[in-house]
Amino acid sequence: MTLRSSLRRLPMPPRGITLATVTVIIFLHPLTTSVTATPGKLTKTYRDIAEGFSAAEVKSWMQAREYGTCAHKIPQAALRWGCSEEVANRICCQNRHYAEYAGYWQSTMFLEDVAEEVAKGEPVDFYDPEDPTKLLFRAPIGRTWGDFLKESEQHGWPSFRDAEVVSEYVRVLPDSGEVVTPYGTHLGHNLPDRKGNRYCINLVCVAGQPEKDAEKKRATMKSAAALKGTAGGAISKEELYQ
């Protein structure tokens, strides 16, 4: 549900309360899953990630762990595309209802960093930052990159379809539509529309640095450190992670 559609659903405010006041209230109190939850479309993918699990299994997915629902804090080094460590830990590990702000994904380096893959016609892989060995989504599948971008821009968050879900590591809580991993990472919500299931996902919660990219980064960091050392200076932690 977008802010625009939410405003359309609001009744006229009581005397003395302006629409501006109502708008401020909405920004301070984002809509939660209890308002937006809609039954998922019963596709094969949805059944694989939302049905057939015991009550104990479902309860274990988002149980309390060492850091919120995550096994540990997400370090900056585990994130790609310039995503924020603070936002990742707040949204992915310490939260069940709220989201990064609409359009956050466009404020990162995401589009620039995936340009090479897109130019080659390859899908982009999205990993869990809490455990970057876990591939969660791969997009676009069965549509163009332009289609993926248009839908994500329209709704404010990366929006994935059934074919783009890696069902081994993604789960949906049917009662709320919350999209999670089996090991505690909050990802977003399933907000079905006339086209089917639409998994509205926080970019920061799928911005994990995959091992192959981490290896390249470590090699680059070592080379940079060696060059800096040869020049007679020390390389700072901030420079290493630029």
Closest CA to 13 of 28, 29, 24: 24
206, two tokens:
């799928």
4, two tokens:
């625009």
Q: In what order do the strands lie in the sheet with 178-180?
A: 159-160, 199-201, 186-190, 178-180, 171-173
Question: What pLDDT is recorded for position 115?
Answer: 94
224 pLDDT above the threshold of 80: no
pLDDT tens digit sequence for 54-92: 999 999 999 999 999 999 999 999 999 999 999 999 999
State what percent of residues in the chain have pLDDT above 70: 72
- How many C-beta neighbours within 10 Å does residue 33 have? 17
Q: How far apart are the first and last CA of the chain?
A: 36
pLDDT tens digit sequence for 165-200: 999 999 999 899 999 999 999 999 999 999 999 999
For the entire predicted model, the pTM comes to 0.75
Summary mean pLDDT of the chain: 82
For the segment 161-165, the average pLDDT, to the nearest whole number, is 98
Cβ proximity of 225 and 237 under 8 Å: no
44, containing H or E segment: helix 44-50
CA distance 35 to 32: 6
